[in-house]
Amino acid sequence: MRETLVLNASFEPLSTVSLRRAVVLVLQDKAVVEQAHSGVRLRSASVELPVPQVIRLCRYVRVPFRRRAPWSRRGVLVRDRHRCAYCGRRATTVDHVVPRSLGGGDTWLNTVASCAADNHRKADRTPEEAGMRLLRRPFEPTPADALLLALGVREREQLPAGREVGVAA
Ligand SMILES: [Zn+2]
């Protein structure tokens, strides 16, 4: 019950997202609940709503689920959940693992979210040269990430007052 199916406005299934993200989409009026788990409600300080099992997007989106999502700086930050690939703290910049000056490209597999301090420290060097270790390897975004990017959902726009939504029977 932690995964919610997302339908396009045309009712075509697109992807699954976490329950938390499904709730965010509904609260941002980007989706409506088509089917909910019976007998349980989500409650936070200011919202109460059914636990979505299936949601449907309010507008039709073309999402490149089976093709590669186009690279973007914002996409890298969303993919990496705004966490620095070197220290795990909040990231606001995008670092090229192999620097552009050494031929590294703007690709999903060559870019990671980075805090400004680590990005500055690494400069125009590879992680090996800089003596810095990647906490995780860069990867192609998941369909759920591609969906959030297509919908323009920002990670910071989350639940009201930043509280976790509890599931109440
Ligand atoms: Zn960092």
> Is position 90 within any domain?
yes
* Boundaries of domain holding 153: 3-63+143-168
**pLDDT of the residue at 153:** 58
Could you tell me the distance, in angstroms and rounded to a whole number, from the CA of residue 105 to the centre of ligand 1?
21
**pLDDT of the residue at 19:** 87
**pLDDT of the residue at 106:** 95
**pLDDT of the residue at 134:** 96
Instruction: Say which CATH number the domain at 119 has.
Output: 1.10.30.50
Same domain, yes or no: 37 and 86: no
Could you tell me the distance, in angstroms and rounded to a whole number, from the CA of residue 72 to the centre of ligand 1?
20
Same domain, yes or no: 126 and 152: no
Same domain, yes or no: 7 and 54: yes
Same domain, yes or no: 54 and 93: no
Burial of 143 (0-12, 13-18, 19+ CB in 10 A): middle
> Is position 68 within any domain?
no
Could you tell me the distance, in angstroms and rounded to a whole number, from the CA of residue 85 to the centre of ligand 1?
7
Same domain, yes or no: 152 and 122: no
Could you tell me the distance, in angstroms and rounded to a whole number, from the CA of residue 123 to the centre of ligand 1?
13
Series of mean pLDDT values for 10-residue runs along the chain (169 residues): 82 84 90 86 79 91 66 87 94 96 94 97 96 93 71 49 39
**pLDDT of the residue at 128:** 95
* Residues counted in the chain: 169
Could you tell me the distance, in angstroms and rounded to a whole number, from the CA of residue 161 to the centre of ligand 1?
26
For the chain, the C-alpha Rg in angstroms (whole number) is 18
**pLDDT of the residue at 117:** 97
Could you tell me the distance, in angstroms and rounded to a whole number, from the CA of residue 169 to the centre of ligand 1?
40
Domain count, the chain: 2
Distance of CA 134 to the CA centre of its chain: 19
Could you tell me the distance, in angstroms and rounded to a whole number, from the CA of residue 117 to the centre of ligand 1?
6
The residue type at 132: M
Same domain, yes or no: 95 and 49: no
**pLDDT of the residue at 95:** 97
**pLDDT of the residue at 133:** 95
**pLDDT of the residue at 152:** 62
